[in-house]
Structure 1
Amino acid sequence: MQSPLRHGKAALGTTIAGGALAALSQAPERASRLLRHRYPTVAVTGMTGVGKTRLTDRITRRASAESGQDVGSAVMERRTRRAARLRGYRFRVVPGENAATRLGALDEVFHDEPVDGVLHVVAWGHATPRRTAGTTGAAAATRDEQLAAELEDWSITAHRIASMAVRRDRPTWLVIAVTKADLFPDEVEEAVRYYSPGSGSPFAARLDELRALAGGAKLSVDVLPVCSQGAGRRSSMTDKDSAALLGRLELRMAQLSGHV
């Protein structure tokens, strides 16, 4: 017959072993939560030609942002911003081309590995026109055509956000980044109003529908102008102005992510 002392030691050993196993099983989940808190995942969406990659490169301080190239990507690009105090962001730049790779990327960021926030890039009809695959020559599109294409692109993205938000606790925030502000410096306020909830514009109507589906209090929405690169001192949008707009965007993202 086992002595009470030996039985007690065995029970204690079992308890310790069980606790250790439980701790180990919870370790990956805790590590994931810590990574998500310090480095939230951000989907960068928007139609082709609005400057998603260039804006992300500016935020992540990548040298390629200064290259002057403006070529769209057909695959999802990944960027990481590492800031002070072991904080930053993991960006997922969704391709703008309406192709299978784009739809797959949207599935990944809004279903397979749900993101914490969305940076949706628009250009108020000033996106760089893209040639259809396989064609040559300069591309051309009117501003009205670009606005219509932008609205169609937003409808697809908004549908994915809504379907994710009703099933999960993410995304918690959405920032509409109105880029290429250097092309309409005297109309920035009008452009911001066009994309703002409740403004009555076609874009705002789709945004209001999204907020109604996702829950207005659950999904934070901000609209901020931005310019990936300014010009000289005599320009209406100088490098200093561009940096100030970018700083406002970064500050708001930091606030929404709990970094400040």
Structure 2
Amino acid sequence: MARMSSATRTAVGTSIAGGALSALSGAPHQLSHLFRGRFPTVAVTGMTGVGKTRLADRLARRTSAESTVEVGSATMERRTRRMAKGRGFRFRVVPGDNAATRLGALDEVFHDDPVDGVLHVVAWGHATARRTAGTSGEAVATREELLAAELEDWTITAHRIASMALRRDKPVWLVIVVTKTDLFPDEVDEAVRYYSPGSGSPFAAKLDELRSLAGGARLSVDVLPMCTEPGEATDKAARKDAGKRCSAMLTALESRMGQLSGHA
């Protein structure tokens, strides 16, 4: 059998080593891509007081601390939901206060480490009013003022979503989550319509503008209602009925997120 020359053996060895190094160098990227496919990242955005943290906690099957629910957070919070078959979601809850920490969180989820989907939380003017830092007493705001603040918040977020969608090579999904529907049970359909594309509302006009900027093929939009967990003040029968409605809404949201992320 012919023997390889020293030069040939060296060349073959170099080739094998190079191939192994290339495979190893590509492994982290491949593993990261696989992990991201199984655990897509979801930004939870919206103005302060709409219930972002509570929603993320429910989706992650985590119990909120009362202080967090009442006061909110000035920093980005992270949650992870682990499900069957090695799948799940990673949630990034963006602070609602218009502060440097909020702007930094928006940069992170829409530019530095772009998310795969967005849950934008709204409350149809029923957000819990928050006091300005350094002031005392109860916060008071009319529904019209809360709707105006919500629209201002959405304008800022929508621009970030459009910019991210244009840079991505795959579609981005957006779900407008209308929370606190237990506060207006007879007007849920009207509230959902207010936030739906093409409805003619001020919010819908900004949403239509976002879809135009991003391109219809790059951004999918859903609008789903959500309610808070039934409180202790209601009687047992009413609480049970409210609990069923809230659970059904949460299940519908989770199902849609699974479909949009390729889990279903």
Give the aligned partner of residue 169 of structure 2: 169
Moved over 3 A (4+): 3-9, 65-69
Instruction: For residue 63 of structure 1, give the secondary structure of its aligned residue in structure 2.
Output: coil
What percent identity do the matched residue pairs reach? 72
Give the aligned partner of residue 141 of structure 2: 141
After superposition, the Cα gap between the structure-2 partners of 1:237 and 1:226, relative to the gap in structure 1 and judged at 3 Å, is farther
Q: How does 1:231-250 map to 2 (within 5 A)?
A: 231=231, 232-234=236-238, 238-250=242-254
Greater CA drift, 51-60 or 156-165 = 156-165
**TM-score, length basis structure 2:** 0.93
2:258 to 251, 254, 257: 254
Q: How many residues align?
A: 258
- The answer for unaligned runs of 5 or more in structure 1 is none
Q: How does 1:171-186 map to 2 (within 5 A)?
A: 172-186=172-186
Give the root-mean-square deviation of aligned CA atoms.
1.8
Give the aligned partner of residue 40 of structure 2: 40
Shift of 1:68: 9.2
Query: Contact conserved, 2:171 with 2:220, CA < 8 A, in 1?
Result: no
Shift of 1:181: 0.8
After superposition, the Cα gap between the structure-2 partners of 1:171 and 1:141, relative to the gap in structure 1 and judged at 3 Å, is farther
Shift of 1:205: 0.4
Letter of the 2:93 counterpart: V
Per-residue Cα deviation, 1:57-101 (whole angstroms, up to 9, x for no partner): 000010227889422110100111111111111111000000010
Shift of 1:141: 0.6
Distance (Å, rounded) in 2 between the aligned partners of 1:169 and 1:43: 18
After superposition, the Cα gap between the structure-2 partners of 1:190 and 1:120, relative to the gap in structure 1 and judged at 3 Å, is same
Letter of the 1:217 counterpart: A
Distance (Å, rounded) in 2 between the aligned partners of 1:85 and 1:158: 33
Shift of 1:22: 0.5
Query: Contact conserved, 1:51 with 1:70, CA < 8 A, in 2?
Result: no
Distance (Å, rounded) in 1 between the aligned partners of 2:240 and 2:46: 26
Instruction: For residue 50 of structure 2, give the secondary structure of its aligned residue in structure 1.
Output: coil
Give the aligned partner of residue 211 of structure 2: 211
After superposition, the Cα gap between the structure-2 partners of 1:242 and 1:67, relative to the gap in structure 1 and judged at 3 Å, is farther
Shift of 1:219: 0.6
Shift of 1:227: 1.3
Distance (Å, rounded) in 1 between the aligned partners of 2:8 and 2:68: 72
**TM-score, length basis structure 1:** 0.94
After superposition, the Cα gap between the structure-2 partners of 1:104 and 1:207, relative to the gap in structure 1 and judged at 3 Å, is same
Distance (Å, rounded) in 2 between the aligned partners of 1:141 and 1:48: 13
Give the aligned partner of residue 102 of structure 2: 102
Per-residue Cα deviation, 1:156-199 (whole angstroms, up to 9, x for no partner): 00011111211223661000000001001111110000000011
Distance (Å, rounded) in 1 between the aligned partners of 2:66 and 2:229: 8
Letter of the 2:11 counterpart: A
Distance (Å, rounded) in 1 between the aligned partners of 2:259 and 2:65: 24
